[in-house]
């Protein structure tokens, strides 16, 4: 008799629990039908934004080739980067490729960067000094995919239009290392 009572009690508990969950689910449906606002679009999780609190982590995950020596991100959307270049690098294509990477990351992977100020800095430990090799000050609307691809595929010099649009600045050190014929130019 006790076993029968225990069996009937467990069946009754199961039915009560099932009915209670069904009633709870129907309450949620009634709340939606009362005319409340429903979101038409859900937030896109693929949109990425740089955040000051996570800046180092976000830049570390950017798969860059050369180390970053200085970084700053402003509320206005300016990303300022100094990238360390070894004095032994004698190929401008590597530097252009790194710059193209940062342009793509800043303007096409992140949606809140409007300006990228990037400097390639030679860190000469023997002489205990840092020297700027190359810099750019690019605005988002000027950094088109065509210009980024040109920079990524460049061997020596970029087109004048790309240099002007991305506001590239070649220093005297650049000319001495990569273009000795032009080293007399400022």
In the predicted model, is pLDDT for residue 47 greater than 50?
yes
Average pLDDT over residues 36-55: 63
Instruction: State the average pLDDT over residues 90-111.
Output: 90
Q: How does the average pLDDT of the chain come out, rounded?
A: 81
d(CA 83, CA 10): 69
50 or 146, greater pLDDT: 146
Higher pLDDT, 53 or 143: 143
Give start and end residues of each alpha helix (H) in 34-109. 55-60, 92-104
Model pLDDT, residue 150: 92
For 153-167, the pLDDT digits (tens) are 888 788 999 999 999
Mean pLDDT of 44-53: 68
- pLDDT tens for each residue of 116-129: 999 999 977 776 78
Q: Is the pLDDT of residue 186 over 50?
A: no
pLDDT of residue 134: 92
pLDDT value, residue 143 = 92
């Amino acid at each position: 008799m006790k076993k029968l009572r225990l069996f009937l009690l467990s069946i009754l508990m199961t039915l009560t629990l099932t009915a209670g969950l069904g009633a709870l689910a129907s309450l949620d449906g009634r709340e939606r039908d009362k005319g409340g606002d429903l979101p038409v679009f859900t937030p896109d999780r693929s949109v990425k934004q740089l955040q000051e609190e996570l800046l180092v982590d976000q830049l570390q995950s950017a798969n860059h080739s050369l180390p970053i020596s200085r970084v700053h991100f402003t509320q206005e959307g300016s990303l300022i980067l100094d990238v360390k270049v070894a004095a032994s690098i004698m190929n401008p294509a590597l530097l252009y490729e790194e710059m193209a990477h940062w342009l793509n990351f800043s303007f096409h992977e992140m949606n809140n960067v409007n300006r990228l100020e990037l400097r390639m800095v030679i860190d000469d430990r023997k002489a205990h000094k840092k020297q700027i090799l190359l810099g750019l000050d690019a605005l988002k609307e000027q950094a088109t995919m065509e210009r980024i691809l040109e920079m990524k595929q460049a061997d020596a010099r970029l087109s004048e239009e790309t240099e002007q649009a991305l506001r590239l600045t070649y220093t005297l050190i650049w000319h001495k290392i990569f273009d000795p014929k032009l080293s007399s130019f400022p």
